[in-house]
Chains A and B, each alone.
Chain A
Amino acid sequence: MIDLIIFLSLLVLGYGAGSWAEKRHYRSIADRENATVNLPAVTLKSVDVPEHKIQSARLVYGSAVISVDYFKRILASLRNIFGGKVKSYESLLDRARREALLRMKEMAGNATVIVNVRIETSAIGKHSQRKNIGCLEAMAYGTALTVEE
């Protein structure tokens, strides 16, 4: 009985805290994406600019680690039984990637463009004793070019 109470409390806490944190994070992501909308981050390897016009080219990267809440973990484990889209983890990955891109852009400062952008994702705590840590890192990196006007 006490186990059930703990489980349900964690579920409610996870849902409440998780939704609140996610809503807040998405608001912040949207704001910052609007602010950095004029710094393009593209997957092209290079841009067609004469070489002497490029003032600087440097590696920029950003990474974000996001954890899943208890409710979403239970939801995902239920989904593991039946199969299908693990919808509860989708927003987790989405947030991590967008946050990583934003941090990369932040590192680029007033560069003109970021080329050759790549995003990588890795799970954290997968090999630890308790495998249900359920948090992941997204890393975005690219080459920031500052081009002379």
Chain B
Amino acid sequence: MKFTARQPGINVNVSPTHPLKEFAILAGGLLAIVVGVYLALGLAVDLIVPRLTMDLEKKLAGAFIGRLVENEDVADTRRSLQALVDRLQDRCAPLPYTITVHVTESDAVNAAALPGGHMVVFTGLLAEMTSENELAFVLAHELGHYANRDHLRGLGRALVLMTASTLLLGADNSINSMIGQGMVLTELSFSRKQESRADEFALDTLFCHYGHVADAASFFSKIPEDGDPGRFGHYFASHPENRRRIGHLKELARERGYPIGNPLPLPADITAKINPR
């Protein structure tokens, strides 16, 4: 038999898989993993928050504190608020935090609890205040978030990322500062249950401090019917929600037998600076 040279006809060295199919499988798999990690981060928040030490929390706070520029115009207001918070904390709301009050000029009728005991109060909130009791309620509400460590949960997935990056890379890493820069303070979100618990904490603190709970719910009823909920932050998530909260506070005050006394006027250095209009 004569040998005839010919080509093998098949190519064993190249896989027949279409490259686009391979790309779809690999890219899809990678995307699925990223989505999975993102979802897992959301679940990890509740696991991490109770285990986060104060020390680590102070390190996390560094990312936010950089942007809190002290304004000389509101220095007196800041001192006055700080004194009020200290008084509340001293007798009625002992927390393992050293609360530092910051005043930020903004129209937002809101206050924010940041990691490390940094409480931010927006001037928009101060402008709406009519009595010291009302103000104390709002500050005590924020203290309530600290007591339950809601301020950490409010950071959500960012907290997990920040905790991981702080543990791995140290306190001043780029991931933390990126999150700190990118986060809008008024966007910290709390659940209905967290707000309720903070309200209850605030009510108890108010009673403990003043001996009555005047003006506790008054701030809630001030929201205009057509008010922009975004401007009122987590105090006024939505109208029905506020009515529920007012109702809840009134019921609680009745239940616990908290009397309603006469509200004290606002400290002078808060009204003077904030209410020129």
Residues of A within 8 A of B (CB): 15, 19, 30, 33-34, 37-38, 40, 71-72, 74-75, 78-79, 81-82, 85, 87-88, 90-91, 93-94
A79 to B17, CA, bound (A): 14
How far is the CB of B30 from the nearest CB of chain A, in Å? 7
- Given A40-B5, A91-B14, is A82 in contact with B29 using a C-beta cutoff of 8 Å? yes
Task: Check B14–A75 contact: CB distance below 8 A.
Answer: no
- Given A87-B19, A90-B13, is A75 in contact with B26 using a C-beta cutoff of 8 Å? yes
How far is the CB of A96 from the nearest CB of chain B, in Å? 11
Number of A-B contacts (CB under 8 A): 45
A37 to B9, CA, bound (A): 13
A38 to B5, CA, bound (A): 6
B11 within 8 Å of A by Cβ? yes
Task: Check A37–B14 contact: CB distance below 8 A.
Answer: no
A120 to B99, CA, bound (A): 70
Given contacts A33-B7, A78-B26, 4 further A-B contacts (CB under 8 A): A40-B5, A74-B23, A90-B15, A94-B13
A15 to B5, CA, bound (A): 35
Task: Check B26–A79 contact: CB distance below 8 A.
Answer: yes
A59 to B19, CA, bound (A): 38
Cβ-defined partner of A72 (8 Å) among B6, B11, B19: B19
B73 within 8 Å of A by Cβ? no
Which A residues are in CB contact (< 8 Å) with B6? 37
Cβ-defined partner of B14 (8 Å) among A38, A40, A81, A94: A94
Cβ-defined partner of A85 (8 Å) among B15, B23, B30: B15
Write the chain A residue with the least CB distance to B5. A37
Residues of B within 8 A of A (CB): 5-7, 11, 13-15, 17, 19-20, 22-23, 26-27, 29-30
Which B residues are in CB contact (< 8 Å) with A93? 13
How far is the CB of B137 from the nearest CB of chain A, in Å? 45
Task: Check A78–B14 contact: CB distance below 8 A.
Answer: no
Which B residues are in CB contact (< 8 Å) with A91? 14
Which B residues are in CB contact (< 8 Å) with A15? 19-20
Q: Can you list 8 A-B pairs, Cβ within 8 angstroms, ordered by A?
A: A15-B20, A34-B7, A37-B5, A72-B19, A75-B26, A78-B26, A79-B22, A79-B26
A72 to B187, CA, bound (A): 42
Which A residues are in CB contact (< 8 Å) with B30? 78, 81
How far is the CB of B31 from the nearest CB of chain A, in Å? 11
Task: Check B19–A75 contact: CB distance below 8 A.
Answer: yes
Task: Check A94–B26 contact: CB distance below 8 A.
Answer: no
Which B residues are in CB contact (< 8 Å) with A88? 19, 22
A34 to B6, CA, bound (A): 8
Which A residues are in CB contact (< 8 Å) with B23? 71, 74-75, 78
A67 to B63, CA, bound (A): 46
How far is the CB of A7 from the nearest CB of chain B, in Å? 12
Task: Check A37–B7 contact: CB distance below 8 A.
Answer: yes
Which B residues are in CB contact (< 8 Å) with A78? 23, 26-27, 30
Task: Check B7–A87 contact: CB distance below 8 A.
Answer: no
Task: Check B19–A71 contact: CB distance below 8 A.
Answer: yes
Task: Check B29–A87 contact: CB distance below 8 A.
Answer: no
A88 to B15, CA, bound (A): 9
Write the chain A residue with the least CB distance to B6. A37
How far is the CB of A21 from the nearest CB of chain B, in Å? 13
Which B residues are in CB contact (< 8 Å) with A81? 26, 30
Task: Check B5–A87 contact: CB distance below 8 A.
Answer: no
Task: Check B5–A75 contact: CB distance below 8 A.
Answer: no
A94 to B13, CA, bound (A): 7
Write the chain B residue with the least CB distance to A11. B23
How far is the CB of A40 from the nearest CB of chain B, in Å? 7
